[in-house]
C-alpha cells in the first residue's frame, strides 16, 4: 500500500491500480484522488458472468460480476492498440469466500476485500447485485463518472432490472456497447423494457430461443449484430445503422432484393457495411438480382454464398451502392 503522505504530483503519477489502493487508505487519501486537477481518460466495462463451474466454489477465481476500469490514450477506446491499464473490480458472492478477508472502507461501507498485485480487486457481498451498484457509485464518485463502454448482462432477471435502472438513473441511459449475447430465455416485454432504460450505440443480441419473441429495435444504433429466428423484413428495412451483421431464418430472396433496392435508392443513408446470413435460402443469384428494382448501372453488390463444403461468390452490377454481403449456409443447388 502506498504511503498516505503523498504530494499531489506523486498522486498524479500513480498508476490506476495505485490510485485505487491509495484512495482506500483513508478518507483523506480518497479526497486527494478525487480532487486531482486532471484525470486521464477512463471508461467502465461492466460484465455479469457466472462462475465457470458451480462445483468449483472453493476458488476465488470465479467471480460472479466484474467491473473493469480502463485508462486509455486519446479520446477513443481501442482494445487492440492504445489501452494502457485495466483494473478489474470483482464482485463475488460471499458464499465463495474462504478465509478471513481484510475489511476496507468504500465511502462509508465496510466491505471484505482482497487486493492482488496484478490489477485485480475482489470484494465479497451477500447480495452481489447491490455490490456492483455500490462499486459503480464509489468509482463514479472517485473518478468523476467515467462513461460505460460495455455492458454485458447475465442470466438473472432481477440483476438485469437493477443494473439497467441504475444506468438510467445515474448515466442518463447511455452505454456505448450493450452485449446481450447469451440471454436465450429473455422475454419480449423484458427486452423492450431494457432497451427503454439503456440507450446503446452498439448492440449485440444473440441466441434468443423464444418462438414468440419480438423486439422494438433502437433507431439510432451505429452497429447491430444478431442471430435470430425472429427478425423480419420490416426489421431489416428499418436498419439504418452503419454496420450490420445478422443471421436470420425468416428472410426471403425478395426481402434481400427489397433491402438492396432501398440501399440503392438512398433509403438507408447511414449504412456502410452489411452482412446477412440467410439461413433458409439456397444459392440463387438470379432470383436476388431479378427482384431488385433499379434504373442505374455501374456499381457493385457483392453476393457471397457458402456452405460446409464449398464457397462461391459473384458480382452483380448496380449503381450507388456500397459492399453488401448476403451469405447463405444451406445446401448448394446441384448443377
DSSP symbols for 201-264: EEEEEE----TT------SS-SEEEEEES---HHHHHT---SEEEEEESS--HHHHHHHHHHHH
Q: Would the pLDDT of 139 be above 50?
A: yes
User: What integer pLDDT is reported at residue 328 of this predicted model?
Assistant: 44
User: What integer pLDDT is reported at residue 137 of this predicted model?
Assistant: 93
Asked if 122 and 18 touch (Cβ cutoff 8 Å), the reply is: no
Q: Supply the mean pLDDT for the chain.
A: 76
Distances (CA, A) of 83 to 11, 23, 190, 203: 21, 22, 34, 22
Instruction: Name the band, by pLDDT with cuts 50, 70 and 90, for residue 50.
Output: low
Which among 138, 135, 167, 137 is positioned nearest to 151, based on CA atoms? 167
Could you give the number of structural domains in the chain? 1
Asked if 107 and 96 touch (Cβ cutoff 8 Å), the reply is: no
CA distance 264 to 245: 19
Q: Is residue 282 part of a domain?
A: yes
Q: Which contiguous run of DSSP H or E holds residue 283? A: none
> Any residues with CB less than 8 A from the CB of 100 and at least 6 apart, and which?
none
Q: Is residue 54 part of a domain?
A: no
CA distance 103 to 143: 22
Taking only the tens place, the pLDDT of each residue in 172-210 is 999 999 998 767 678 889 999 999 999 999 999 886 767
Taking only the tens place, the pLDDT of each residue in 78-94 is 554 445 678 888 888 88
Q: Is residue 82 part of a domain?
A: no
**Mean pLDDT of all residues in 230-246:** 90
CA distance 189 to 215: 8
User: What integer pLDDT is reported at residue 15 of this predicted model?
Assistant: 83
Q: Which contiguous run of DSSP H or E holds residue 327? A: strand 324-327
**Mean pLDDT of all residues in 127-150:** 90
CA distance 205 to 219: 15
Q: Is residue 77 part of a domain?
A: no
Cell triple for 81? 492498440
Q: Is residue 120 part of a domain?
A: no
Q: Is residue 140 part of a domain?
A: no
Kindly give the pairing relationship between strand 109-115 and strand 102-106: antiparallel
Give the count of alpha carbons within 13 A of 19, CB side only.
25
Kindly give the pairing relationship between strand 199-206 and strand 223-228: parallel
Q: Would the pLDDT of 266 be above 70?
A: yes
User: What integer pLDDT is reported at residue 51 of this predicted model?
Assistant: 46
Residue with cell 455501374: 298
Residue of 111 and 77 predicted with greater confidence: 111
> Any residues with CB less than 8 A from the CB of 289 and at least 6 apart, and which?
257, 316
Q: Which of 186-195, 209-218, 262-271, 282-291 has the lowest mean pLDDT?
A: 282-291
Asked if 236 and 211 touch (Cβ cutoff 8 Å), the reply is: no
Instruction: Tell me the pTM.
Output: 0.80
Cell triple for 281? 435460402
Instruction: Name the band, by pLDDT with cuts 50, 70 and 90, for residue 294.
Output: low
Q: Is residue 327 part of a domain?
A: yes
Q: Is residue 39 part of a domain?
A: no
User: What integer pLDDT is reported at residue 175 of this predicted model?
Assistant: 93
Alpha helix ranges (H) inside the chain? 8-12, 16-23, 27-34, 128-142, 157-171, 188-197, 233-237, 253-264, 285-290
Q: Would the pLDDT of 6 be above 50?
A: yes
| CA end-to-end span of the chain | 72
DSSP state of 178: E
Asked if 287 and 238 touch (Cβ cutoff 8 Å), the reply is: no
The residue segments making up the domain with residue 252 are 217-335
Amino acid at each position: 500500500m502506498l504511503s498516505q503522505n503523498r504530494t499531489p504530483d506523486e498522486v498524479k503519477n500513480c498508476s490506476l491500480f495505485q490510485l485505487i489502493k491509495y484512495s482506500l487508505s483513508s478518507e483523506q487519501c480518497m479526497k486527494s484522488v478525487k480532487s486531482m486537477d486532471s484525470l486521464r481518460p477512463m471508461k467502465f466495462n461492466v460484465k455479469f458472468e457466472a462462475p465457470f463451474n458451480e462445483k468449483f466454489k472453493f476458488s476465488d477465481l470465479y467471480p460472479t460480476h466484474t467491473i473493469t476500469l480502463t485508462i486509455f490514450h486519446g479520446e477513443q477506446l481501442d482494445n487492440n492498440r492504445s489501452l494502457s491499464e485495466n483494473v478489474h473490480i470483482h464482485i463475488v458472492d460471499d458464499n465463495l469466500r474462504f478465509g478471513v478477508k481484510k475489511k476496507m472502507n468504500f465511502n462509508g461501507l465496510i466491505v471484505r476485500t482482497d487486493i492482488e498485485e496484478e490489477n485485480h480487486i475482489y470484494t465479497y457481498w451477500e447480495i452481489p447485485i447491490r455490490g456492483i451498484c455500490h462499486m459503480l457509485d464509489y468509482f463514479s464518485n472517485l473518478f468523476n463518472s467515467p462513461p460505460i463502454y460495455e455492458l454485458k448482462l447475465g442470466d438473472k432477471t432481477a440483476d438485469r432490472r437493477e443494473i439497467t435502472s441504475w444506468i438510467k438513473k445515474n448515466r442518463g441511459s447511455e452505454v456505448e456497447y450493450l452485449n446481450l449475447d447469451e440471454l436465450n430465455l429473455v422475454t419480449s416485454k423484458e427486452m423492450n423494457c431494457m432497451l427503454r432504460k439503456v440507450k446503446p450505440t452498439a448492440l449485440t443480441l444473440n441466441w434468443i430461443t423464444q418462438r414468440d419473441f419480438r423486439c422494438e429495435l433502437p433507431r439510432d444504433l451505429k452497429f447491430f449484430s444478431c442471430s435470430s429466428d425472429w427478425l423480419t423484413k420490416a426489421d431489416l428495412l428499418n436498419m439504418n445503422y452503419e454496420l450490420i451483421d445478422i443471421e436470420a431464418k425468416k428472410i426471403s430472396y425478395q426481402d434481400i432484393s427489397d433491402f438492396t433496392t432501398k440501399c440503392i435508392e438512398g433509403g438507408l443513408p447511414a449504412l456502410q457495411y452489411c452482412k446477412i446470413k440467410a439461413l433458409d435460402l439456397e444459392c440463387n443469384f438470379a432470383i436476388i438480382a431479378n427482384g431488385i428494382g433499379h434504373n442505374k448501372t455501374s456499381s457493385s453488390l457483392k453476393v457471397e454464398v457458402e456452405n460446409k463444403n464449398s464457397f462461391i461468390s459473384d458480382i452483380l452490377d448496380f449503381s450507388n451502392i456500397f459492399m453488401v454481403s448476403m451469405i447463405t449456409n444451406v445446401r448448394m443447388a446441384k448443377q
